[in-house]
Amino acid sequence: MLSFRSTVTIAAVLLSLLAVSLGAGCATQPLGVMPEQFDTGQASAQVAGLSCPLCAESLIATVQGVDGVEAASLDLEAGLLTMTFGKVPPSPADVARSIEDAGFTLVSFGLATN
């Protein structure tokens, strides 16, 4: 039996694939510098290719499926993803991979401003 988190992650991936096949999630520029680790309990990511609320839901669900991410929220208009981490934060590479796998482009990482 799949856990709720696994089911949500699978659904997000399927929605992402559908969005990409419909032309959403177009890549723009690749990430310049990848941090080795997150030094705080929160971080933000500038994401390109988001065009609708379905994109936002898909991205949030995918990122929340990464081990170490406790919560994620997205300002769709600004393309700004804010993440809150557990005691052991995820690696930036894992978060970046989840964003790219969802069909979007990670432009940069930054410190969360909330």
- What integer pLDDT is reported at residue 27 of this predicted model? 36
The number of angstroms, rounded, from the C-alpha of 23 to the middle of its chain's C-alpha atoms is 18
- Number of Cβ within 10 Å of residue 78's Cβ equals 11
Domain residue extents for the chain: 4-110
Structure tokens that stand for 87 in this block: 């005691």
Mean pLDDT of the chain: 78
DSSP 8-state secondary structure symbol assigned to residue 5? H
Q: How far is CA 69 from CA 12, 29, 40, 83, 97, in A?
A: 15, 25, 12, 7, 14
CATH architecture of the domain with residue range 4-110: 2-Layer Sandwich (3.30)
Lowest mean pLDDT among 33-37, 75-79, 93-97: 33-37
Torsions phi, psi for 48 (to 5 deg):
-110, 155
pLDDT tens, residue by residue, 35-63: 888 888 999 999 999 989 998 999 999 99
**Interval 92-112 mean pLDDT:** 91
